[in-house]
Copies of this chain bind each other. A is one copy, B any other.
Amino acid sequence: MNQLKLENQLCFPFYAISRQITALYRPLLEPLDLTYPQYLVLLVLWESKSLSVKDLGKKLLLDSGTLTPLLKRMEQDGLVIRQRDKADERVVLVSLTEKGITLENEAKDIPFKLASCLALSMEEFINLKAQLDKLMETTSALK
């Protein structure tokens, strides 16, 4: 088997599916004026009131080079507030505005709508998720 053939690659499907999934989110997120990475930030903030850029980056596997401009745009859109931590001025804490909090309710159908696009049975979903989580653990450890 020729390992240099595109069709024999495992990595290409990850690259392609990731972009395809983002494309599926687009029409669902567009009414909320969100991009997929912005939506991910909100997912995290809906779980925890306030988080440092650092901790946000740990959850999303993104660095400040990506997060700083992204969060600034979200701040401009009135979704989040960025403020220096009084206890440690190096840290910037990100929290939701009222508008950001409100958006959770408008977004609550999105996971179901998206899941239905993927046409997976519950069993397939769980099975695939387990494999992805395992792989993610492997790749994260190699950082």
Contacts and interface: CB of A to CB of B under 8 A. Distances in A.
Give the oligomeric copy count. 2
Given A61-B20, A125-B10, A3 B112 contact: yes
A28 to B, nearest CB: 11
Interface residues of A, number: 57
B9 A111 contact: yes
| A-B pairs, 6 with minimum CB distance | A18-B18, A3-B111, A13-B132, A20-B139, A14-B18, A11-B21
Contacts of A24: 139, 142
Nearest to A117: B142
Given A135-B118, A138-B118, A139-B118, A15 B4 contact: no
Contacts of A129: 10, 13
A135 B4 contact: no
B10 A14 contact: no
Given A61-B16, A61-B20, A124-B131, A6 B138 contact: no
A43 interface: yes
Nearest to A140: B20
A9 B43 contact: yes
